[in-house]
A and B are shown apart, each in its own frame.
Chain A
Amino acid sequence: MKLTRRELADYAAAELVAGNKKVVDELAAYLVQSGRTREANLVVRDIESALARKGVVVAHVATAHTLDESTRKSLRQLLQQAFSADTLHLQETVKPELLGGVKVAVADKELDSTARRILNQLKAVKV
């Protein structure tokens, strides 16, 4: 029987919240065995959404420079408030091409206040 992505995500999220980190390996094995490796990124996003519903928020933070501690703290407070998160995991990435500002992605939501976005908007202006 083929499990839906939602079912997989809910199961994995429940196991992760319960502290069973082996579920990630099991899930990877299942996706390979069932020939659904193309869905891996979507499954990960669904798991993050499922985790967010359970109060565990995984936020992908991209900046042009490494975050200092005070900024990281402010960001954590913001995200915990915004998503009513009991547990918050920040996955930080440094991307110099962003020039400045921050880009935060949580599940299917995104906050982009980078200089790169503004420049892209400027380039996309229809004349």
Chain B
Amino acid sequence: MTTAVTGFASTATPEGDMLGSLGIDVQLLVLQTIAFLLLLFILTRFVFPKLNAMLDKRDAAIADSLKAASEAEKNAAKSQAAVEKLLKDARRDADEIVASAKAEAGTLVDAAEKKSRERAEQIVADAGAEIRNDIEKARVALKKETIELVAAATEKVVGKVVTAQVDEKLIKSSVDEVNV
């Protein structure tokens, strides 16, 4: 192609001698201009639209990304606020739960103390009653034993004291009492 352009330039008219004196090859200039225009046409017709479309697409993508980033930032801010609100609520709930648990524990401790105190009092009362019962039983047993001892002693004494003569008097006395 270079050979063809050079050949075409060598067939140029003599008017081009002025430009040739300036060192400008007219033919070459025309050819280069045509080549430039051709290149420009090709670029404008086929490359630039695609390039522009690609750039527009990229621009839109960047814009979308920026928008998404902005929204994400907003969402993040919202999320942060929501999280803070949740944390605050959770903290407040936790405080309430702790306070409620403390109050309930206090109530339970009071109830347990009261129950223990009542149980202790009941145990003391039962022990007292049992002791009194044991004392009463011992007293009764002692009385019974004493009576049995007295009866046994009386039996021995009476057996020795009541002779036939004394017995006769006793029997007569009994008979007299019945007669009366």
Assess A100 versus B170: contact at CB under 8 Å? Given A115-B162, A123-B148, A127-B147.
yes
Annotate A53-89 by CB proximity to B: 1 below 8 A, 0 otherwise.
0000000000111111011001100100110000000
> Which of A74, A100, A111, A123 touches B162 (beta carbons < 8 Å)?
A100
Residue of B nearest to A119 (CB): B151
Contact residues in B for A70 (Cβ distance below 8 Å): 168, 172
Whether the pair A123, B151 counts as a contact (CB closer than 8 A) is yes
Contact residues in A for B158 (Cβ distance below 8 Å): 99-100, 115, 119
Assess A100 versus B155: contact at CB under 8 Å? Given A75-B175, A113-B174, A127-B144.
no
Contact residues in B for A113 (Cβ distance below 8 Å): 170-171, 174, 177
Whether the pair A127, B171 counts as a contact (CB closer than 8 A) is no
Assess A66 versus B164: contact at CB under 8 Å? Given A119-B155, A125-B147.
yes
Size bracket, chain A contacts: 20 to 34
- A102: Cβ under 8 A from any B Cβ: yes
> Which of B140, B154, B167, B174 touches A64 (beta carbons < 8 Å)?
B167
A122 to B158, CA, bound (A): 14
Size bracket, chain B contacts: 20 to 34
Whether the pair B174, A102 counts as a contact (CB closer than 8 A) is yes
- B178: Cβ under 8 A from any A Cβ: yes
- Chain A nearest CB from B172 CB (Å) reads 6
Whether the pair A119, B154 counts as a contact (CB closer than 8 A) is yes
- B2: Cβ under 8 A from any A Cβ: no
Interfacial residues of chain A within 107-127, with CB under 8 A of chain B in the complex: 111, 113, 115, 119, 122-123, 125, 127
**A residues with CB within 8 A of B:** 63-68, 70-71, 74-75, 78, 81-82, 99-102, 111, 113, 115, 119, 122-123, 125, 127
Report the 10 A-B pairs with minimum CB-CB distance, sorted nearest first: A100-B162, A113-B174, A127-B143, A65-B164, A102-B171, A65-B167, A100-B167, A99-B158, A74-B175, A78-B175
Sample (14) of A-B pairs whose CB atoms are under 8 Å apart: A64-B162, A66-B164, A67-B168, A68-B164, A74-B171, A74-B172, A78-B179, A99-B159, A101-B170, A102-B170, A119-B154, A123-B147, A123-B151, A127-B144
